Amino acid sequence: MRRARLTRPSTRRRGLLLLVCAGLIAAAIGTLLQQTDSLRRLELQTVDTRFSVRGPERPPKDVVVVGVDDATFGQLKKQWPFPRTVHAEVVDRLRKAGAKLIAYDVQFTEPSPPGHENEDSALLGAIFDTRGRVVLATTETDKGKTRVFGGGTILHQIDARAGNALIPSDPGAVIRRVPYSVGGLKSFALVAAERASGKTYTPADFGSGGAWIDFHGPPRSVPYISMAKVRLGQFPPSAFRGKIVVVGAAAPSLQDVSATSTSGSGLAAGPEIQAEAISTILRGLPLHGSSSLLALVLLLAFAALPPLLSSRLAPVRAFLASVGVGGAYAVAAQVAFDHGRILPVVYPLVTLGLSAVATIAVQYLFESFERQRVRDYFARFVPEAVVDEVLAQTDGALRLGGVGRECSVLFSDLRGFTSFGEGRQPAEVIEILNDYLTEMSDAILDHGGTLISYMGDGIMAIFGAPLDQPDHRDRALATAREMLERLGRFNARMNERALGDGFRMGIGINTGPVMCGNVGSHRRLEYTAIGDTVNTASRLESMTKGTDYQVFVADSCRSGLDPMPDDLVFVDDLPVRGRQGRVRLWGLVEEPATAGRAPAHDTATVVSAD
């Protein structure tokens, strides 16, 4: 038999609607977080992680750092700030060594002390001799104008350029991006890159938040030489030839250090950061962020994924599948990063997690309500003691599929009730019928039977389904005995109300293979049993009419009773309508107290139900 769902289409639609709502809620929360940039710091940290996963790259061949480090202080025996003649000597050494560009990350905005004007002249002369190959740093600007060497006039005379060396940091004081300009003045790294390459960049190339710095690795990944060695000429002849040299403070005591995406728990010196920024610009800004539209599309897609999976898979499998998709996306984001694309990670994955949790919560909540509905559905015809066990045998969709098994089927009918109800008020008839059905139903359920249906004053019940009951024959016969006892009490109440002498009933019990399951349409389902065994049981109930017996039991039921009862007597082998062979029948001998209006006999003559 085809497995039939207990959930109706409308119920399923409600479940899908709840899943959609869970996805929409997750999408709304994710979008709100993204628009307010609430998780910006965490998102930026994932970029640092991607650098770490990618690992160090080969050092740049066209950029070198000359650092004012502790060795410089030890060898030069001078205090900071150094006399400008020292800087002039360094510039001169670098020029003679063939440096393509000297990016001097030291600020010369104040004149030398009185009496040291010659030091300024020495430095200006050294810069002039480079013939436009020096870029100077400043952090003080006024609407794009600088005070380097007193102002723009002198810079123009010595053919030098200035750039703003400030690089704004992200939350957590971490430098990850280089700006196009700061305070109206192009950034120091940009001016150096443009001067060295001859190319010109626009603000659009950098974006609103600046261009991502493509760090080669942790601090000292860029070739490094101490300023002391440069001044003393202790460097290889090819160390600076054709290269951009960034000169600046590298000693921690000079406090020009910052955290970067690749510095880990340490700090990177200012000139190293500027060198990485210059190298990044020279390489065409290889790291690119994602558009806001793509970020939104990813967020919405991840919000919709768990509900979509849950509509096809069980809750746990859908959740695990969502986790798998999240992991796959994290790998994809790393691969994209390795190829120069920075995809958002936190907001899509947070949205995915919210949607997955909301979806599984909705599913379990909905399934809990649905299970309670199904429990109530089964409790109408299955004893309360076995309802939970029945539900335990249903699958994840709360379905109870059709199965074939051996069962005992019981049919009963109240004789003469139809004529009794004629001429009486409907309310009175229904009240009496409910009284009778309550008695008979309790007898069936108390013995573990499954109440299939009411047919007016008729009842159909089975034993051995939906749960397997090895003693289903004994249960069916015990139920018949109790039904007769309850009929006696019901008749006594009828007599007390002067409603007549009471009724007789007919009961037929047959055992054999039946097919049990849910049948009906998508709009209405009922648990039932079908097959020849069921039809024969119904015929046996009809065959009790006009006999001295109220209960007929087929030999297929009697043969499996344990122990064999002594209140069953052989009646006859009789033909039954709808069957080719004969059925051996046994009649239940009733106790005088339960016999109703007819006496009990050891034998009887029965007319077959042809």
DSSP conformation letters of 23-35: HHHHHHHHHHHHH
Distance, in Å, from the CA atom of 483 to the CA atom of 312, rounded to the nearest integer, reads 47
Residue 519 — pLDDT band, cuts 50, 70, 90?
confident
User: For residue 419, what are the β-bridge partners?
Assistant: none
Within 10 A of 229 (CB to CB), how many other CB atoms are there? 16
- Give per-residue pLDDT as tens, 449-470: 999 999 999 999 999 988 889 9
Distance, in Å, from the CA atom of 246 to the CA atom of 135, rounded to the nearest integer, reads 9
Cis amide prior to 218 (ω within 30 degrees): no
Which comes out higher in pLDDT, residue 208 or 592?
A: 208
- Give per-residue pLDDT as tens, 567-605: 999 999 988 887 778 899 999 998 754 544 433 334 344
How does DSSP classify residue 170? Answer: B
Q: If you average pLDDT over every residue of the chain, what do you get? A: 88
Distance, in Å, from the CA atom of 275 to the CA atom of 68, rounded to the nearest integer, reads 15
Distance, in Å, from the CA atom of 336 to the CA atom of 339, rounded to the nearest integer, reads 5
Residue 386 — pLDDT band, cuts 50, 70, 90?
low
Please say if the pLDDT value at position 3 is more than 70: no
CB 310 within 8 A of CB 318: yes
Given this model, what pLDDT does residue 415 score?
92
Given this model, what pLDDT does residue 399 score?
52
Residue 400 — pLDDT band, cuts 50, 70, 90?
low
Distance, in Å, from the CA atom of 294 to the CA atom of 209, rounded to the nearest integer, reads 17
Across 173-199, average pLDDT: 96
- Give per-residue pLDDT as tens, 482-508: 999 999 999 999 998 888 878 999 999
- Give per-residue pLDDT as tens, 15-31: 677 788 888 999 999 99
Amino acid present at 454: Y
Given this model, what pLDDT does residue 153 score?
84
- Give per-residue pLDDT as tens, 27-53: 999 999 999 999 999 999 999 999 999
Instruction: Report angle CA 43, 280, 60 to the nearest 5 degrees.
Output: 120
Please say if the pLDDT value at position 263 is more than 90: yes
How does DSSP classify residue 433? Answer: H
Given this model, what pLDDT does residue 160 score?
94
Compute φ and ψ for 219, nearest 5 degrees: -50, 145
Amino acid present at 27: A
Across 302-328, average pLDDT: 90
Residue 397 — pLDDT band, cuts 50, 70, 90?
very low
Distance, in Å, from the CA atom of 189 to the CA atom of 165, rounded to the nearest integer, reads 7
Residue 2 — pLDDT band, cuts 50, 70, 90?
very low
Given this model, what pLDDT does residue 598 score?
39
Given this model, what pLDDT does residue 390 score?
60
Distance, in Å, from the CA atom of 610 to the CA atom of 605, rounded to the nearest integer, reads 15
Residue found by looking up tokens 């076995």 in the block:
386
Half-sphere exposure of 250 (CA within 13 A, CB side): 26
Across 88-94, average pLDDT: 97
Task: Write the DSSP string, 299-329.
Answer: HHHHHHHHHHHHTTS-HHHHHHHHHHHHHHH
Least-confidence region, from 79-83, 184-188, 566-570, 590-594: 590-594
Residue 410 — pLDDT band, cuts 50, 70, 90?
very high
Instruction: Report angle CA 249, 254, 255 to the nearest 5 degrees.
Output: 105
Q: Give CA torsion, residues 424, 430, 436, 439, to 10 deg.
A: -160
Highest mean pLDDT among 95-104, 359-368, 451-460: 95-104
Residue 164 — pLDDT band, cuts 50, 70, 90?
very high
Given this model, what pLDDT does residue 601 score?
38
Percent of the chain at pLDDT > 70 equals 89
Residues in Cβ contact with 67 at an 8 Å cutoff, skipping those fewer than 6 apart: 224, 225, 226, 227, 247, 248, 249, 250, 251, 269, 271, 272
Given this model, what pLDDT does residue 401 score?
59
Least-confidence region, from 205-219, 331-345, 412-426: 412-426
Given this model, what pLDDT does residue 143 score?
78
Classify each residue of 557-566 as buried b or exposed e, where b means 16 or more C-beta atoms within 10 Å of its C-beta.
bbebbeeebe
Distance, in Å, from the CA atom of 459 to the CA atom of 571, rounded to the nearest integer, reads 24
Which comes out higher in pLDDT, residue 465 or 273?
A: 273
**The pair of three-digit structure tokens given for residue 588, joined into one six-digit string:** 């239940």
Given this model, what pLDDT does residue 604 score?
40
Least-confidence region, from 68-72, 384-388, 421-425, 524-528: 384-388
